[in-house]
Amino acid sequence: MRLVLALAVAIAACGGEAARSSPTASSASQATSSAIPSIDVSDMMGAFPPTTYFVVRPGNVTALALLNHATKYTIPIAAGDAQVATATQAGRVYVLDQTREGARLRWFEIASGAEVRSQLIPGTSVVATGSGHGTLAFDSSNGEVFALLRQGSTMAIEEFEGFTLSPVKRRLGELRCGERVLASAGRVVLACLGKGGLVVDGGAGAGKFNARTPLVAIAMSANGTVIAGSADSRLFKLAPAAVELETIDTLRDERIRLMSDGLAAQADCCFVVGALDRVANPKITVFWGGFTLIRFPESSAPSGGLLVQPPFAYYTVGKEARHIDLQQGFAEVMAGFSEGVLPGAVADR
């Protein structure tokens, strides 16, 4: 891939100023993000689809292009924690951040970074995750956005219309615990990681489920299948309409240590698992049940979990944004920063 990238950059450079472009101006009412001109590299000879990787930094969300690793634009955020989610087919990236008046939900055009809609939720605060994702989710089946917000001593999952950001309803309220929210196929899932509890709202199989052990990771596929992982590396699967959790002991039997937020969906059939191991470089293996395992070096453990947009998984290590090819196992640094960075979201645009 390094050779292909080098050739693509060289070809673009030979085109002089004609190869340089800036994001197209938007007709949106606001455009607070700052666009950064970049070299317009081609589609890498068709090898990879255009993809944008959003990482969260102090003061902004940075949009990185897969094809040339350039910064497409930045989205300013208020101080504190921010959460990111994407609606790829609609071409939107959602950002939830904290202002003095309350939590603020906005969406921007993925192509240009232009702000289109903004909604303030007074008196609420963002639930921090230690990452750039986890308490903001988009359900492509109904076009709705879900945010886990704190208000006083309790929390609630609030539902918003995906385009206008108008409040729809409160899905779950008066919550005493909750660290992650997921949404897909008309199902909304709340995870109380420390208690090992899952609450499913909507669709067949709604109810409460208990893994009876603290959880460290959870992911949800497009068809509504949920996979959660515990600190002792057991996996718990909740299929659509299932009435109980299925326990999978493959990782624990192999003494593989699941990393925090180390689960990500890869289509309806499969999930990617991130683990820490005594390896010099990341290694890819496939094991029973449609799981792709990435073994990361303990000495350079990812922070903030995994994101997947085939054929790559995206993650961060310290001050670097990285990705790894899920077929060949080739890992690469996309960008380095002067401060710590966390994974937010990814989109094939």
pLDDT at 239: 93
User: Rounded to whole angstroms, what are the CA distances from 263 to 168, 258, 259?
Assistant: 29, 9, 8
Domain residue extents for the chain: 2-22+29-254+340-347
| Gap between the Cα atoms of 24 and 268, Å rounded | 34
Q: Which residue has the tokens 């990705």?
A: 323
Cis peptide before 311 (omega within 30 of 0): yes
SS3 content of the chain, % helix, strand, coil (to 5): 10, 50, 40
pLDDT at 155: 97
The DSSP symbol for 22 reads: -
pLDDT tens-digit map of 151-181: 999 999 999 999 999 999 999 999 999 999 9
Name the strands in the sheet holding 320-325, side by side, starting at the edge strand that comes first in the sequence.
307-309, 312-317, 320-325, 331-336
pLDDT at 289: 73
| Gap between the Cα atoms of 285 and 261, Å rounded | 19
pLDDT at 225: 94
Structure tokens of 14? 């030979």
> pLDDT of the chain along its 349 residues, tens only?
443 444 343 333 333 333 333 333 333 334 445 454 443 444 444 567 789 999 999 999 999 999 999 999 999 999 778 999 999 999 999 999 999 999 999 999 999 999 999 999 999 999 999 999 999 999 999 999 999 999 999 999 999 999 999 999 999 999 999 999 999 999 999 999 999 999 999 988 899 999 999 999 999 999 999 999 999 999 999 999 899 999 999 899 989 999 999 999 987 778 999 999 999 999 999 877 779 999 999 999 999 999 999 999 999 999 999 999 999 999 999 999 999 999 999 999 9
Cβ contacts of 43 within 8 Å, gap of 6 or more: 49, 50, 67
Task: Give the Cα-Cα-Cα angle 269, 271, 276 (nearest 5 degrees).
Answer: 160
pLDDT at 261: 97
Structure tokens of 117? 């809609």
Q: What are phi and psi of 174, to 5 degrees?
A: 55, 40
pLDDT at 120: 98
pLDDT at 1: 43
Task: Output the CATH code of domain 2-22+29-254+340-347.
Answer: 2.130.10.10
pLDDT tens-digit map of 2-50: 434 443 433 333 333 333 333 333 333 344 454 544 434 444 445 677 8
